[in-house]
Chains A and B, each alone.
Chain A
């Protein structure tokens, strides 16, 4: 405990899509990698996500998006994170993300993108290397 800080991750599903199996499985994988995962559930508004990340002092926000709205959602959330002083929090996005959108997301300020099919090892490594 004193050697390395425990990474805290918020897993949230913004918007209307109701498929949370992927998010739950990723949450479990992160727990097994020794992280503390706050699972906030389905249908989260961006305001809820921001408030939760603030109160829970997380290091990483992991969004799971399968609705195809990953570009506008990420853009808006990053603006809100800057606005609320969450500059030290990393944003990662997973779900159904077309490969051609990954550079666009990264350009916006998304730290890591884990499209469907990414291995747990890659996800935990990716998050570990951020923090």
Chain B
């Protein structure tokens, strides 16, 4: 099923529609941060904690696709292999497949499937490069940003703007020197931050105060506290009702991204079949017109003179 989603198979679309009403119960945690800060190891330790509470845990680990070959090495799982035979733990690696934002729509669809399958907690791991952090805020209920001491990540974080989306900031490998400095830096930055645009609420009591925690994922130090903090964030949102608002917001974003994908697919198909498009291509090839004028001409001439074929048959 997840495979069909990845391949953008029309039948996956139908199944998603059927599953959607059953999804929505799971608590979705996003974990992001630079490569090598220990996200996978931390998630491995988090799985252990959530399993102690007898929760069913699913992990979607996203790794980048090579822009050159289209291939990918998916190695996050390597750190979580001790949970491989636990029936109540599901780990799925996904490649970003060159989608803008790092987090492909397939990830969103997969989260729907896993949620409908009855997993209590879904953890989504992404490599925090550029836009990916923002994408995860379209998907997760609670976001953990992982950094390590001594990299100046406190400052880097402000640059990238991820301070605005994080709910819990984790300083991993905190047995290294400068851990305290990193924690302090983060706390200072957080005091200055503007409220999260997603969770922004005029009623300030509905807003969650971000936490900064220290962990050593390798030996599990601080991981229980981290798991508890994620759960208390969830409780916090449930109790004051902001989770409802958040879910509606996420649904709206999901809808928007679907519209974007589907509209693009449909329009492109439509355009490519049009005579205008073929004419323009010929003109470009013969050198009689520049690509800019041609593109403008084709799009301006877009007129839906006939009903485009339904998506599923044309894909």
Residues of A within 8 A of B (CB): 1-2, 5-6, 8, 27-28, 30-41, 44-45, 47-48, 51-52, 55-57
Chain A residues within 8 Å of B66, by CB: 31-32
Q: Which residues of A contact B68 (CB under 8 A)?
A: 32
Closest to B71 in A: A31
Residues of B90-107 at the interface with A, using a CB-CB cut-off of 8 Å, are: 90-93, 95, 97-98
Which residues of B lie under 8 Å from residue A35 when comparing CB positions?
71
Is there an interface contact between B85 and A36, defined as CB atoms closer than 8 Å? Answer: no
B74 touches A6 (CB 8 A): no
User: Of all chain B residues, which has the CB nearest A2?
Assistant: B8
State how many residues of chain B have any CB contact under 8 Å with chain A. 28
Task: Pick from B75-83, B140-148, B187-195, B291-299 the stretch touching chain A.
Answer: B75-83
Tell me if B84 and A52 are in contact (CB < 8 A). yes
Give the interface centre of A6, A30, A38 by most chain B CB atoms within 10 Å: A38
Chain B interface (Cβ < 8 Å from any Cβ of A) = 2-3, 6-8, 65-66, 68-75, 77-78, 81, 84-85, 90-93, 95, 97-98, 315
Taking CB atoms, residues of chain B closer than 8 Å to A57 are: 2-3
**Is the pair B73, A28 in contact by a Cβ cutoff of 8 Å?**
yes
Q: Tell me whether B69 and A38 are in contact (CB under 8 A).
A: no
Please tell me if the beta carbons of A34 and B77 are within 8 angstroms of each other in the complex. no
Q: Flag if B8 contacts A39 (CB, 8 Å).
A: no
Q: Which of B3, B8, B71, B90 contacts A1 (CB 8 A)?
A: B8
In the complex, the answer to whether B71 meets A36 with C-beta atoms within 8 Å is yes
Are B85 and A51 within 8 A (Cβ)?
yes
The answer on a CB contact under 8 Å between A51 and B74 is no
**Chain A, Cβ-Cβ closest to B86:** A51
- B90 to chain A: which residues have CB within 8 Å? 55
B196 smallest CB distance to A (angstroms): 33
Bound-state CA distance A35–B73 (Å) is 8
Selected from A6, A31, A37, A44, the residue in CB contact (under 8 A) with B81 is A44
Tell whether A31 pairs with B73 under 8 Å between CB atoms, given A1-B97, A6-B6, A51-B84. yes
Q: Which among A2, A44, A55 has the highest number of chain B CB atoms within 10 Å?
A: A55
B7 and A5 contact, CB distance less than 8 A: yes
